[in-house]
Structure formats: C-alpha cells, structure tokens
C-alpha cells in the first residue's frame, strides 16, 4: 500500500477521515495497532474524578480533534480501537449509528459526563452527533481565526479539554483560543503529544494565560508506523532535535507524552515543569 505523507510529517489518512461513518477509519487504525485512546482512558477518567472532587462539579469534557467520537466511544464503552473495528465491521452508516445508540443505551460508563467535540471534518462530527457519542459538536479550524459566538458558547462550556493526537495538526493558537472562549474561567487541559512535536512553546503560551503545565512520566505508544518512509521521517525529525529514538520510534512505534495544564490558582495544580532533562538527551 502506498502511504501519502501529511505536512505534519506523519502519514496522511485523509482518504478515510471524511467518510460518513468510522468503520474504515477504525479498521485502518486497528491494522496499525492504534492504541492511544485506550491508554489515555485511565488518565482522562482520573482527571474527570479529580475535577469533580476539587470543584464539586461533574466536568463537561471537550475533545479536540474528536473525529468520529472515538475517544468518547472508548471512554463511554470502556473499549479499544481494535474492538470498535469489530463493532462496526463492514456495516453501512445507518447500522453503525444504530449499533452505537444501542450500546450507549445499554452500557454508558460515563452517564453523568457531558462530552463535546471539535474537529475540521464535518462528516465525522455529523456521525458523532447522530449516535449521541458527543452531546454537542463544533466544526471549526481555529488555527487562523477566532471562534464565532455560537462556537464560543459551546467551547466555553468545557471544564476539561482533552486530545490524543491533535497537537501537531493544531498549535498553541488553537489551544489558547479554546482557553479564551471561557472568558476569565480557565478549563483544565490534558494532551497526549507525539515526541516529534515540542509542547514547550505551547506551554509558554498557556502560562501567559495563567496555566501551569506538567509532563507525566514515561511515554505512551500511539500506533505503529504506517510505512518505512514515515518512520524514517519521524526519526530524522527527532534526531535533528537532539532526541534519542533508541527503544522508542526506532523500534517501530510513534510515542507520545502526556501534558496536563491547569490554572495556577488551583491548589491541585502540580509544580513540575513542562520539560524535563530526558526530553533532550
């Protein structure tokens, strides 16, 4: 299979990202052992619980780059991407929607949490809204413009902003616009960011708004490389930035770090810096 490359330096999956349902997307991701949503699930669940314990409010969660509501499905079904691929199979769109609706009705693991999503793919958002996986959606690209008033209303309702692969496609411009949608109230944030993308500049932009960012220890495997060309390009990028890929990307996997940003005024906000020496071996 010929794999085209995205301008971000990763393989492009645009051909399966604008279809009316996620069956092809999940099938392709399962073939690449895409697992960051299920690896992220415990961290997101922990933050949801922590936010409620700290504030007394069950948070509204905004997923940036939500696509078909994959993170919502993993959180609400307690499932994996590979299992979702089986769940959808080769069914048509109406059947996929019916299966998701039935599953939500039977076993929603987060019945009290409101989930909203933002993405640049209208078909993916339409699907997530039709199934009920996401309670509200925003179709927007905030890299070059501010949200509209209607978009700001939805984005500003979020208490916790999450992503599992959005940073790189978006920059600090999007994250700061999302944060500012809340007025003087700042949401918590948790972003899984590939090691090929430096989060430190974004952390500085967030700090200017009143955030403190920590990087959790360790890395998380996102997926296998889609091609030798993708692996070589990513390894070259990391090496050029002084990052050792031995035992990580050189072994065939994209690796991500988890960055958590919270308003400094929160007593629970950790004091660790966004970058640690192991980032630059």
pLDDT tens digits for the chain (281 residues)? 455 656 666 676 777 888 999 999 999 999 999 999 999 999 999 999 999 999 999 999 999 999 999 999 999 999 999 999 999 998 999 999 999 999 999 999 999 999 999 999 999 999 999 999 999 999 999 999 999 999 999 999 999 999 999 999 999 999 999 999 998 899 999 999 999 999 999 999 999 999 999 999 999 999 999 999 999 999 999 999 999 999 999 999 999 999 999 999 744 444 444 544 344 33
What values do phi and psi take at 146, rounded to 5? -75, 155
Euclidean distance between CA atoms 87 and 34, whole angstroms:
16
Closest by Cα among 30, 25, 23 to 15: 25
Three-state secondary structure call for residue 164: coil
- State the first-to-last Cα distance of the chain, in angstroms, to the nearest integer: 35
């Amino acid at each position: 299979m010929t794999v085209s490359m995205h301008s971000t330096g990763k393989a492009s999956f645009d051909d399966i990202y604008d279809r009316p349902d996620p069956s092809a997307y999940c099938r392709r991701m399962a073939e690449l052992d895409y697992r960051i949503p299920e690896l992220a699930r415990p961290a997101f669940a922990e933050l949801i619980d922590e936010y409620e314990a700290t504030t007394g409010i069950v948070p509204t969660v905004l997923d940036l780059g939500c696509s078909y509501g994959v993170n919502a499905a993993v959180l609400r079904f307690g499932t994996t991407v590979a299992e979702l691929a089986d769940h959808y199979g080769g069914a048509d769109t109406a059947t996929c929607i019916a299966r998701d609706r039935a599953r939500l009705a039977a076993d929603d693991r987060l019945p009290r949490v409101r989930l909203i999503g933002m993405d640049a793919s209208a078909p993916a958002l339409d699907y997530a809204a039709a199934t009920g996986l996401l309670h509200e959606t925003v179709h927007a690209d905030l890299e070059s413009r501010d949200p509209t008033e209607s978009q700001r209303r939805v984005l500003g309702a979020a208490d916790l902003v999450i992503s599992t692969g959005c940073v790189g496609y978006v920059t600090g411009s999007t994250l700061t616009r999302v944060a500012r949608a809340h007025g003087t109230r700042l949401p918590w944030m948790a972003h899984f960011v590939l090691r090929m993308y430096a989060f430190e500049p974004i952390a500085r932009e967030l700090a200017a708004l009143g955030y403190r960012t920590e990087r959790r220890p360790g890395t998380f495997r996102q997926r296998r490389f889609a091609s030798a060309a993708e692996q070589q390009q990513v390894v070259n990028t990391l090496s050029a930035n002084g990052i050792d890929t031995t035992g990580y990307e050189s072994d065939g996997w994209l690796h991500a770090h988890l960055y958590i940003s919270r308003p400094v005024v929160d007593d629970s906000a950790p004091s660790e810096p966004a970058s640690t020496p192991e980032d630059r071996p």
